[in-house]
Amino acid sequence: MIIFDFVPIWTLILGLAVFFYVLLDGFDLGVGILYNFAPTSGDRNLLMNSIAPIWDGNETWLVLGGLGLLAAFPLAFAIILPAVYFPILVMLLALIFRGVAFEFRFRDVEHRTFWDHAFGYGSAIATFAQGVVLGAFIQGFQVDGRHFSGSSFDCITPFSLFTGIALLFGYSLLGSGWLILKTEGTLQEGARRQARLCFLGTLAAVGVVSLWTPLVDPDIAQRWFSWPNIAFLAPVPVLTALFGLLEWRAIANPKAELQPFVYAILLFSLSYLGIAISLFPMIVPHHYSLWQAASSPDTQIFLGVGTLFLLPVILVYTGWSYWVFRGKVRADTGYH
Amino acid sequence: MTLDPLVLSRLQFAWVVAWHILLPALTVGLASYIALLEGIWFVTGKDIWFRISGFWTRIFAVAFGMGVVSGVVMPFQFGTNWSRFSDATANIISPMLAYEGLTAFTLEAGFLGVLLFGRHLVPRWAHFASAVLVATGTLFSTFWILVTNSWMQTPGGYKIVNGIFYPTSWSEIVFNASFPYRFMHTVAGFYVTTGFVVLGVAATLLRKGKSREEARLMLSMTLWLLTVLVPLQIFLGDLQGLNTLHHQPAKLAAIEAHWNREARAPLTLFAIPDQQAQTNRNAIEVPLLGSLILTHDINGVVPGLKDFPRQDLAPVIIPFFAFRIMVGIGFVMLALVAAGLWFRLRRRLYDNGLFLKALMWSAPLGFIAVVAGWTTTETGRQPWTVYGVMRTAQSVTPSLTGIDVLISLLGYLAVYCIMFPTGLWFVLRIVRGGVTAEEATPIEAGRPAAPVKPVPAP
């Protein structure tokens, strides 16, 4: 007996958790990627300090997203994770290195260069791996019954490698937007130059993916280009173009400190929405819908009660911690 | 040699979880200890308590950070390597794991920032309250993880439809047969582990003549705590043994390497169990003691491994020895605590060099006991993931090849071999620095260890 359909609620919760993860860890991973290009040790200190108080909170969304998928759509969890075995492995190992580098770099002066690389390369590799996961997910997996039936190397395709590179530009765009907001002077000017490059890269990647997916996947083409969908969905590419233009101008405008970050977030939101529109209602593309992969209603209710109570609490103090650490980051501030 | 993805996946899980469990073993205990120290400081207002709490908070920060990054790995293991287990059991175990994540996120991570960075930013009561909330959070995390583990040991409150578990009663799932005992035994074990770390550090400081006043206070206080906790832990372990006898007889028989069902059974102190021949070699036994300890009755019947089909038996030699290591350490700890009481009565507690040296070297004992105990309970459950219902061999991801898992295992081996020794090295360096007032730390690693100030808004 099902009194109430909890699947839409869990779709929303999980969608939000993954979205928060992509945005929040996205910008701090992006700062980590740009860290590789910071010229001096002092600059690297500033870059690290700009995300030191908040990165671990950001990363916790990854755990909540993973556990949310297991709890709400276990069949999808059991098929997708084996299918992206190696990207997940590489991501986890890179995140470990990057995570401990925050603490170790400051305590272990003798090996500072090593931990610098652990942080910079770790951030870049974790991002690339996430991009590969995204690409593999969009392409879909070989499924037999309730299992992934392909090889662990299937997920490495030209498309997934492309989305891996695309995400490097995307996260770097978010990261440079964050740095424009948090730094000043020459560091901010450098961040603006990087933002420009990352923006062009991101824009190109979004364009290529938007053309590539409908060409490869007739379902996606049907979704976007059939009448009347094309009319309803037209605002997505139109708004993307608009925010792209605003982002380009904000990056070039020395007075705009918050806008580059905000428009980058909006561009990400639209890309995320675009992927969701392409795939809905499938959670394992081509095989299982959200409803088919859902856990039992009892499970969704049992966990839903606590989640709907705790999630707002988490959101409130996440916001509060960003408020506490607001403002420009300076050289004399250490969070360790 | 063929590479078996099942065996390699089990090795990989054992590797990542064995390292991970060391960190909660310390952080659960330390969080409660720090809350206690902060509470005493709040009530008495004596700064020495604040200094000690600050010292342990620095160590806590390193351990907690490593616990988080090694913990992120864990839920993904369920998906990448144990997908059939996840698919079958998610309806039941996923809310437990998700509640662990949510409570950890809410309480531990939320108030950790205040505990670590807010020493001079918030009023005393708020700092004390944060310490209590962080400690509560670690206990909630332990609660949910052990619910999951206990349910796998003694499943209840479920039905199976088409190979998928469905919940029928959440109270029977959460408070399953072995959970209360496992929870008490594990938390006490974490506290004892932390206690011996504190003793070891205090003894090290005393031997070096550093921070003498603080070290004496730590030593004396913790020794009192352990005088209660160690005997209590042995008692709780016995209760869990009775519970295992009742609900998991094959596992108990494996732990004791007991092949034949019999009354008035002996206790095997040492043996080389032979799984093929179903007998023990080189056994050293004490008559009657087995029945007395396991059933609390000299005529009690102890189950034998031959009662069960061969394919349902655990690899006896592993739980047998792991259990003996754990119990042996328990009695070494009891002896140390008794010696401490003796020296205290003779007022030689702080200057007996040999005793202090023994305490110093016993600092890692609790960790070894925790890993041994965990090995006992997990290998003792084999060949099942859900005891008596779902086999480990049916739980592994079907798409994996041996090479896949070999690559990932090597990756985890390499990264953990760098990360954990480095973390330990940092903790040892904090210990060598001694208990210092936070402000007085001049330069640590080339940067001022000033308390954190939020950046003023522009």
Mutation pick from A62, A103, A181 vs chain B, by most beta carbons of B within 10 Å, is: A103
Report pLDDT for A293. 87
Residue A277's SS3 state is helix
Predicted ipTM of the assembly = 0.88
Buried b (16+ CB within 10 A) or exposed e, B392-409: bebbbbebbebebbeebb
Pairing of strands B447-448, B384-386: unpaired
Residue B38's SS3 state is helix
Residues A92-146: tens digit of each pLDDT: 999 988 888 887 887 777 788 888 888 999 999 999 999 999 999 988 888 888 9
Which has the closest alpha carbon to B74: B437, B416, B359? B416
- Enumerate the residues of chain A whose CB falls inside 8 A of the CB of residue B456: 327
Report pLDDT for B449. 35
Q: Report the first-to-last Cα separation within chain A, whole angstroms.
A: 53
- One DSSP character per residue, B100-119 reads HHHHIIIIIIHHHHHHHH-T
Indicate the pTM of the whole model. Answer: 0.89
- Among the ranges given (A47-56, A171-180, A267-276, B327-336), the one the predictor scored with the smallest mean pLDDT: A47-56
Residues 201-220 of A with CB under 8 A from B: none
Percent with pLDDT over 90 in chain A = 35
Residues B59-75: tens digit of each pLDDT: 898 888 888 888 889 88
Helix axes A158-182, A7-35, angle to 10 degrees: 70
Host H or E run for residue A245: helix A235-252
Is the omega angle on the peptide bond into residue A228 within 30 degrees of 0, that is, cis? yes
Query: Are B408 and A85 an interchain contact pair (Cβ–Cβ within 8 Å)?
Result: yes
Instruction: Please enumerate in sequence order all residues whose Cβ is within 8 A of that of B18, keeping only pairs 6 or more positions apart, or say none.
Output: B371, B374, B375
- Enumerate the residues of chain B whose CB falls inside 8 A of the CB of residue A108: 422, 426, 445
Which has the closest alpha carbon to B115: B141, B138, B143? B138
Among candidates A67, A327, A336 on the partner chain, residue whose Cβ is nearest the Cβ of B98: A67
Estimate to the nearest angstrom the gap between the alpha carbon of B282 and the chain centroid: 32
Residues A187-225: tens digit of each pLDDT: 888 889 999 999 999 999 989 988 888 888 888 888 888
Report pLDDT for A173. 93
Query: Half-sphere exposure of residue A273, counting CA atoms within 13 Å on the CB side?
Result: 13
Q: Is the pLDDT of residue B441 over 80?
A: no
Band of pLDDT at residue A332, cut at 50, 70 and 90: low
Please tell me the distance in Å from B378's CA to the nearest CA on chain A. Answer: 23
Q: Is A304 on the interface with B (CB under 8 A)?
A: no
Rounded to whole angstroms, the Cα distance separating B303 from B289 reads 14
Residue B167's SS3 state is strand
Residues 35-54 of A with CB under 8 A from B: 53
With contact defined as beta carbons under 8 Å apart, do B312 and B250 qualify?
yes
Q: φ and ψ at A242, to 5 degrees?
A: -65, -50
Mean of all residue pLDDT scores within chain A: 87
Query: Are A299 and B399 an interchain contact pair (Cβ–Cβ within 8 Å)?
Result: no
Q: Is A184 on the interface with B (CB under 8 A)?
A: no
Rounded to whole angstroms, the Cα distance separating B148 from B142 reads 10
Q: Hey, what are B345's tokens?
A: 């009565």
Rounded to whole angstroms, the Cα distance separating B108 from B134 reads 5
Report pLDDT for A76. 92
Residue B24 burial (C-beta neighbours within 10 Å; 0-12, 13-18, 19+): buried
Among candidates A77, A93, A109 on the partner chain, residue whose Cβ is nearest the Cβ of B86: A77
Query: Are A85 and B404 an interchain contact pair (Cβ–Cβ within 8 Å)?
Result: yes
Please tell me the distance in Å from B48's CA to the nearest CA on chain A. Answer: 23
Query: Are B90 and A307 an interchain contact pair (Cβ–Cβ within 8 Å)?
Result: no
Report pLDDT for A150. 86
Q: Is the pLDDT of residue B407 over 50?
A: yes
3-state secondary structure A13-81: HHHHHHHHHHHHHHHHHHHHHHHCCCCCHHHHHHHHHHHCCCHHHHHHHHHHHHHHHHHHCHHHHHHHH
Report pLDDT for A334. 53
